[in-house]
Amino acid sequence: MNEIIECIPNVSEGRNQDVINQIIENLKKTGVKVLDVSSDSDHNRTVITFVGDRSNVLEGAFSVAKSAVELIDLRHHKGTHPRMGAVDVIPFVPIKGITMEETVELSKTLAKRIGEELKVPVYLYAESATKEERKTLPNIRQGEFEGFFEKIKDPNWAPDFGPNEVHPTAGVVAVGAREFLIAYNIYLNTKDVNIAEKIAKSIRESSGGLRFIQAKGMYIEEKGMAQVSMNVLNYKKAPLYRVFEIVKMEAERYGVNVVESELVGLMPLKAALDSLAFYLRFPKLTSESIIEMKIYE
């Protein structure tokens, strides 16, 4: 492909496999390449990763939105992850042969179509945001689905596209262009979600922690452990090894240990290589050192 755009829609369903399968089946008909589908029953959320050129990525993203609106009823949705829409967020990431500015325009095309055809309010976020307070997803999502019925009445929170009222079953959606984001979780050997939240507060940027980090403490019933759930917005300036070490250090203050890490969706190879180089003390490690990368060049 001369032009590659990554799209990573998050849908508010992580338990009903029939619904998830139907969304993916419809998506594959649009000609995109589906790279990953990550579902979590505790979060009750599925993160889908696919790539293509701007025409089929646009169709793929709309397909996911349409399927989610038709198949998911947020009035009956419960999960540990915050959500405001059946399809909660649809980010586009320029990979090859397309600029960020062009990707922003692509996101606006999708947003307009969702608003007009699906009658779902759309908020532009990240690089596509029309207001400073809409750049970060947590700001938009505050109040979640249930709170948006009042929030949307505030002129400051009028949607960028679509009706000025919340869809009764599908809520609202954020759409935008952004850089790579790594969804990274760390599990702790405790069930105390308060400890996880204190650690999250210490590391997230909005509370004075590490730049480019969004974090929240959760309890994951399936694992029987508390989790620090994070979005790493810039892995080059906030590398995973640094995030891990800070969480580990903060956990020790509360007498708990890190059990394991978890990746939701995909991440760039460089993010993994940077952490490998840090822990094995390679002064320099690049993809040129990886045999599979040399074979598949």
pLDDT-derived band of residue 209, with 50, 70 and 90 as boundaries?
Answer: very high
**pLDDT digit string, tens, across residues 62-73:** 999 999 999 999
Q: How far apart are CA 137 and CA 134, in angstroms?
A: 7
Which residue ranges form the domains of the chain, and what is each CATH number? 4-177 (3.30.990.10), 182-289 (3.30.70.670)
Alpha-carbon Rg for the chain in angstroms? 19
Catalytic residue, chosen from 43, 76, 81, 167, is 81
Q: How far apart are CA 255 and CA 195, in angstroms?
A: 10
Quote the tokens at residue 250.
């903060």
**pLDDT digit string, tens, across residues 233-285:** 999 999 999 999 999 999 999 999 999 999 998 999 999 999 999 999 998 88
CB burial of residue 294 (10 Å; 0-12, 13-18, 19+): exposed
Q: How far apart are CA 246 and CA 170, in angstroms?
A: 37
Q: Is 77 a catalytic residue?
A: no
pTM of the predicted protein model: 0.86
Q: How far apart are CA 170 and CA 27, in angstroms?
A: 18
For residue 69, the SS3 value is helix
